[in-house]
Amino acid sequence: MRNSQQPVPVLVKFPIGPVEYEWTTGLGCVTLCTACDDEEKFAEARDRATPRVLAHGTQLGSYDMAWVVTERLAGDHLPRHMNAAMVTELMTRVLEFHQAAGKHKPVAGRYKSPDWSMLLERARHLSHEHAIADFQQWSEAIRHVLKHLPSLQARWEARTIDTWCHGDLHVANALRRVAPGCTLAAPGDGPCVLIDLALVHPGNWIEDALYLERQYWGHEEWIGHVKPVSLLARLRREAGLPTVGDYNELANLRRVLMGACAPALIAIEGSNQKYLKSALRHVQEMLPMVVH
């Protein structure tokens, strides 16, 4: 797209699902018109936490097919090995996303939780088959979680639903914009932008932070030993947003549930031995903290 002979590089994406379409357009639309300075108006939206959308629709020719035209994010994604400053930048973007999503649409509904019982039984089967390292410790840990599963599950389901969560927060979904004054050939170190909004769902504000944290179990040094939940809690307080209830206990409860299911998710998530050892440690240390 052009204004005053200045190109606006774009990305055309199709087809996209209804959730991704709703949130990409709802948070990113930028109105451009011939009667105003398009380039200036486009730049005004530079601080958005999600890609700026220049055009969109739900039909493509004679087909019912959703599509969007967004700004082209030519910068790199955040590196797998981050330092504390990068993690802070990413979690700040997450906070901005939560705020923008809440303004766009009131939080409503509930997101279907995993089938914890099925996953735990699968994990226990793998431990009984000696298919994982430390299988005896895993078998014992999973047995204890299953014993308390009704209470743990009920308390997780009773959590406060107060946020539209991104749902897929990892570094490949955090691309950098072209920095002001730079070019596509040399994009510079622009701000990161959250992409791929297909899994946005109603939840609790801790969920995105826990999602990021869990990817680094066993490799905490790769995020500068930063604790994403504590960091996001601080950012929320600084922004005047609430952190209702004992979020640390709720976070530990979720860590226990996800940690105990880790052996069942090996094939899906490609978990390595360091991750599994860290998951087992989380279950062993935190289950006594959350059992009432």
User: 49: which residues sit within 8 A by CB, 6+ positions away?
Assistant: 27, 93, 94, 96, 97, 100, 193, 194
CATH fold for the domain made of 76-292: Aminoglycoside 3'-phosphotransferase; Chain: A, domain 2 (3.90.1200)
The residue extents of the domains of the chain are 1-72, 76-292
pLDDT at residue 36, rounded to an integer:
47
Report how far apart, in Å, the C-alpha atoms of 20 and of each of 182, 185, 200, 221 are: 29, 29, 8, 32
Query: What pLDDT shows up at residue 123?
Result: 95
Calpha distance 170→163 (Å, rounded)? 18
**Cis bond upstream, residue 15 (ω within 30):** yes
Q: What is the pLDDT of residue 188?
A: 61
* pTM exceeds 0.75, yes or no: yes
Average pLDDT value over all residues in the chain = 90
What pLDDT does residue 4 have?
47
Would you say 273 and 126 are in contact if contact means Cβ atoms under 8 Å apart? no
For the chain (292 residues), the mean pLDDT of every run of 10, in chain order, is 61 95 94 52 74 92 91 90 96 98 96 94 92 94 98 96 97 87 64 96 98 96 97 97 92 98 76 89 97 86
